[in-house]
Structure 1
Amino acid sequence: MTIRLRPDQKIHIQSSADIFQLMQPVLRRSSKLDRDREHLWILCLDASQTVQHLELLGLGTQRAVLIDPKEIYNLALLKRATSIVAIHNHPSGKLRPSQADKTATEKMIAASQFLNIKLLDHLIISDDNYFSFLDEGVFALLSTSKSIMLNSAL
């Protein structure tokens, strides 16, 4: 589901805080019923890291949402994005990434290297806070993992 962005929402992204600020009204717009489930949004950006498109790509359960790199990068290719940000919520409010979150991010990093569409960050958000894989150093750890290096060598 495409989320319509007002012209003032097509901002230049400089930090994870910018992404969180952009996503707050989107998260609040969700109905109470939907807010009890995990959502996956993909933010598509142009070469100057200006927001061009925001898509709700997945609606999951209370504890998980499918994060499929094929679907994510298909969207990025269709929208001609040069970079993307993956964002999902944890209805519990607990922002620490699960092992499944880390594995999905690792797969997105590998796909980004292959397709040359940069994954800028992966955020987990709640009503009042967020976790940035980039800011917390998880992104760097996953980027240097053996499986990523193996995939990029192929």
Structure 2
Amino acid sequence: MNVRLPKDEDINIANGEDIARIMRKILLRQNRLHRKREYFWVIGLSNNQDIEYIELIAIGKSNTVNVSPIDVFNLAAAKKCEKIILCHNHPNGNMKPSEADLQLTHRLMQGGELLGIRIIDHIIICEKEDYYSLLDDGFPDELQ
């Protein structure tokens, strides 16, 4: 499902903080009850770091979301986006990635490599003004 960019946001992305701010605004559009579930988005970027699209891939439970590699790369391949950012929320407010988050990122990076689509970051957000960027944290090294 395509997601609209908030009207007060620029399409050019400088860093993970920009994505976290935009995605938090998108998350906060949901009512409080729905924000208790995990959402998983893919953000497609042009070569000059402009947002081409934001797509909601999956909605899960309070502590998990099932993501299909086909869903992650489908729109990126169709729009010929060579770079994407993964983003999901942790309703409990804990920004630390789970082992499942890290494994999923690694698996998707392998798939992206085959398709020529680079995952440049995986960002975890919550309702608060906080986020976690795998790129900023230096993990996994393949993001760099």
Contact 1:10 1:52 in 2 (8 A): no
Contact 2:97 2:124 in 1 (8 A): yes
Spell out the pairing of 1:44-55 with structure 2 (5 A cutoff): 44-55=44-55
1:26-81 deviations in Å (ceiling 9; x for gaps): 01101112100000011011111100100111000001011222210112112321
Spell out the pairing of 1:72-151 with structure 2 (5 A cutoff): 72-127=72-127, 128-140=129-141, 143=142
Name structure 1 gaps, 5 residues minimum.
145-154
Contact 1:68 1:104 in 2 (8 A): no
Distance in 2 of aligned mates of 1:131 and 1:115:
26
1:100 CA drift (Å): 0.5
Greater Cα radius of gyration, structure 1 or 2? 1
- 1:88 counterpart SS class: strand
2:59 is the counterpart of 1:63: no
1:6 CA drift (Å): 5.4
Distance in 1 of aligned mates of 2:6 and 2:99:
35
Contact 1:9 1:51 in 2 (8 A): no
1:10 CA drift (Å): 4.8
Contact 2:6 2:25 in 1 (8 A): no
Contact 1:38 1:88 in 2 (8 A): yes
1:22 CA drift (Å): 1.4
Contact 1:42 1:72 in 2 (8 A): yes
- TM-score normalized with structure 1 length: 0.86
Could you tell me which residue of structure 2 aligns to residue 147 of structure 1? Answer: none
2:60 is the counterpart of 1:23: no
Between stretches 99-108 and 18-27, larger displacement belongs to: 18-27
Aligned length: 142
* Bigger helix fraction: 1
1:108 CA drift (Å): 1.2
Distance in 2 of aligned mates of 1:5 and 1:70:
23
Distance in 2 of aligned mates of 1:123 and 1:10:
18
Structural RMSD (CA)? 1.6
Contact 2:13 2:50 in 1 (8 A): yes
- TM-score normalized with structure 2 length: 0.91
Name structure 2 gaps, 5 residues minimum.
none
